[in-house]
Structure 1
Amino acid sequence: MFHPLRVSEIERITDDAVAVTFAVPAALRETFRHTPGQHLNVRHHVGDEEIRRSYSICTPATEQPGAPLLRVGIRMVDGGTFSTYALKELAVGDQVEAMAPTGRFVLAPRPGNFAAVVGGSGITPVLSMAATLLAREPLARFCLIRSDRTAASTMFLDEVADLKDRYPDRFQLVTSLSREEQAAGLHSGRLDRERLTGLLPALLSVPDVDGWFLCGPLGLVRGAESALRALGADRSRIHQEIFHVTGQVTASPAATQVVTPSESRLTATLDGRSGSWPVQGGESLLDTVLRSRSDAPYACKGGVCGTCRAFLVSGEVRMDRNFALEPEETGAGFVLACQSHPVTPEVEIDFDR
């Protein structure tokens, strides 16, 4: 369900990015209470077309005086309809429709040592995680390794510097610029698997970190995960969220070998109501549901955001792409409806689990 939120502030934070702050009405305070790391799904209409996008919340999940605020970071994407609108047309006082915060890339405050490897706009959810953790849990520490192209393109530079000043003994910051030399810190270049394998043990004991949070472009996240596994990090402690998948990514060989039945039927449960519909040739399970239920949850339709996650009750499906669900989730029976196609004549999914 979407709710109107009023834009209370728009701040230009780099040449190609803005931070947009929304005022949350008192009646929706509980609806929009978030866990650090979650995102907002927003929608905008261009003519007859509905555009949905997902943006991570950077606001700390702490009690705020007065009316609560939610802040998201939006970076311009080539050809991006909503990001272009946000940077060029959106104004203070405008209303934007948004769903309640969602997402499982989260860090609920608790004692321990935590670390993150982020690239570009991947800082957005991690900023909320670090700020909330350090403010609410005095026995917690956080190490942030961030990669950006240049200092001028670095999002939330002041907010991260403020954390370093406020928690000098519990917050560690390492920055890397891929296209620019810096006076101190790492030499320029990408933070790939090889560099991280050498860097991370010099910063902290990798196997002893209670939670690793990887966020940013696909290449950075995959490289960081590979480095962490090689350095002895437990798989269950590594959490990731992909922000950008550049280039053409094909379906897995196993998926392309699966034969789709000529006729199949989908049963889906959403918000306590069930329906059953024929799956038309080539369409995903999400598109099948959307033909009759416009309230079906989705944002990117690219297998990245995880908004359309559903539990596979019965039948079999193939997923073309998956950059959102972790192995534990797929092992438990969850699928991405936007990437799933029926393998059996009858398939049932449940969005409510």
Structure 2
Amino acid sequence: MFHPLRVSAVEQLTDDAVAITFAIPAELREAFRHTPGQHVALRRIVGGAEIRRTYSICTPAVEAPGEPVVRVGVRLVEGGEFSTYALKELGVGDTVEVMEPMGRFVFEPRPGRFAAIVGGSGITPVLSIAATLLAREPDARFCLIRSDRTAASTMFLDEVADLKDRWPDRFQLVTVLSREEQQSGLPSGRLDQERLTGLLPALLPVADVDGWFLCGPFGLVQGAERALHGLGVARNRIHQEIFHVDDGTSAVAAAAAPASAAAPAHSTLTATLDGRSGKWPVREGDSLLETVLRSRSDAPYACKGGVCGTCRAFLVSGEVRMDRNYALEPEETEAGYVLACQSHPLTPEVELDFDR
């Protein structure tokens, strides 16, 4: 559900990134009390067309009765309608439609050793995860390995430095710049699979890490995941969220149909959402999400690119083809979940349940 929230602060982080803080009315505090790692979708209407973008919350999670703080980082994307608006027009006092927090890249703080590998704006949810963990669990440790192009393009420098100052014995920071040499620390260059395979064991006891959080561009996350698998890390200890996918990147093969599978000439979708069911014909070329949206504008979605996972639904019956999947874990697809925005029918009848 979307709510109109007033912008209480806009802070310049870098030349191409800002942090936006929203004022949360007393009656909406519980609705916006987030779990570390969750995101919100922001909505804007331009020329009668709806634009939605998803941004992770960077602030620590606040337990009741404390007042939740919803602050997101927005980096300018070339040609991006919402990010251009956020950096060049949005100001304090303006109102933005904000969806209640959601997402599965989440973490409930517990004692142990944890680590993250992030790139660029992928720092945003991990900042919330690390800050919440260190504040709540005195026996927890966190190692942050972050990759950025240059020092000037690095988001949330002050916030990360504050974590290091407050918990010097429990927070380890490793910074790698891909396009700029540092006076001290690691040499510049990309954090790819080969480099991480050699680097990680030198930084921390890999086998003793209770949870890994990977967030950022697809290439970085994929390389980090492969490096961790090669170092013997179990799949259930690796959590990931993709922030950007290059157009030329091949899609993750998850519950995808064989190339020879063909869509039926006519198909019908039955979908359950918020306890109400409907049945609609699927137009040629339309995704299952587009089919639902024609009659149910409250269908959940944010990016429509197979990245955020907002439109996750359970496949009750029938078969579908997913074009792309950067959001669902293998165990989710094995359990029968699909991304409605990327799914197309392969059988005359398909049924989805958005409520499971």
TM range (shorter): over 0.9
Provide the C-alpha distance between the structure 2 equivalents of 1:63 and 1:236, rounded to a whole number of angstroms. Answer: 27
**1:319 aligned residue:** 322
Equivalent pair of 1:265/1:276 in contact (CA under 8 Å): yes
Match for 1:9: what amino acid? A
- Relative to 1, partners in 2 of residues 1:32 and 1:255: Cα closer, same or farther, differing over 3 Å? farther
Counterpart position of 1:83: 83
Gaps of 5+ in 2: none
Q: Does structure 1 conserve the Cα–Cα contact (< 8 Å) formed by 2:257 and 2:322? A: no
Deviations, residues 218-257 of structure 1 (Å, cap 9, x unaligned): 0000000000000010011001000000123455584533
Q: Does 197-206 or 155-164 show the bigger shift?
A: 197-206
Alignment of 1:162-311 (within 5 A): 162-250=162-250, 254-311=257-314
TM-score, with length taken from structure 2? 0.97
Q: Distance in 1 between matches of 2:42 and 2:91?
A: 16
2:222 partner SS: helix
Residues 19-168 of structure 1 correspond to what in structure 2 (within 5 A)?
19-63=19-63, 67-168=67-168
TM-score under structure 1 normalisation? 0.98
Q: CA RMSD in A?
A: 1.3
Distance 1:61 1:196 in 2: 30
Deviations 1:233-291 (A, max 9, x none): 00110010000001234555845332111111000011111100000101100000000
Deviation at 1:139, TM superposition (A): 1.1
Q: 1:11: Cα distance to partner?
A: 0.0
Indicate whether 1:346 and 2:349 are aligned. yes
Alignment-derived partner of residue 13 in structure 2: 13
- Which residue identity is paired with 1:206? V
Contact persistence 1:23–1:68 (CA under 8 A)? no
Give CA-to-partner distance per residue, 1:118-151, whole Å, 9 cap, x none: 0000000000000000001111110000000000
Deviation at 1:206, TM superposition (A): 1.3
- Aligned residues: percent identity? 78
Deviation at 1:63, TM superposition (A): 4.2
CA deviations over 1:39-79 (Å, ceiling 9, x no partner): 00110011111000000000100248975321000000001
> 2:126 is matched by which residue type in structure 1?
V
Contact map agreement 1:255 1:319 (CA 8 A) in 2: no
Counterpart of 1:20, as a letter, is I
Q: Secondary structure at the match of 1:79?
A: coil
Preserved CA contact (<8 Å) 2:12 2:18: yes
Check 1:255–1:304 CA distance in 2 against 1; reply closer, same or farther (3 A cut). farther
**Greater Cα offset, 325-334 or 252-261:** 252-261
Q: Which amino acid is 2:353 matched to?
A: D
Which aligned runs of 4 or more in structure 1 are off by greater than 6 angstroms? none
Count of equivalent residues: 353
Taking structure 1 as reference, are residues 57 and 10 closer, same or farther at Cα in structure 2, changes over 3 Å only? same
Alignment-derived partner of residue 335 in structure 2:
332
